[in-house]
Amino acid sequence: MQNVNTEKALRNQLASVRMEGFRFSEHEISNVRKCLSGELTFRQFTDKIVKEVRSK
């Protein structure tokens, strides 16, 4: 089995969702990276998403 690091897995997933027509801002991708690296807990990450969606 091939060893895939987190950054490569994220890039692969972003490419996949872009093919489906979804787009993410650099800010949103940055938040995902922070969650994956442990800078944000999953709860903090989801709270940020909810807060940002409600403010739109």
% helix, strand, coil for the chain, step of 5: 70, 0, 30
Position with higher pLDDT, 19 vs 2: 19
Position with higher pLDDT, 36 vs 1: 36
Q: Please, what sign has the CA dihedral across residues 5, 11, 14, 20?
A: negative
- Asked whether the predicted pLDDT for residue 1 surpasses 90, the reply is no
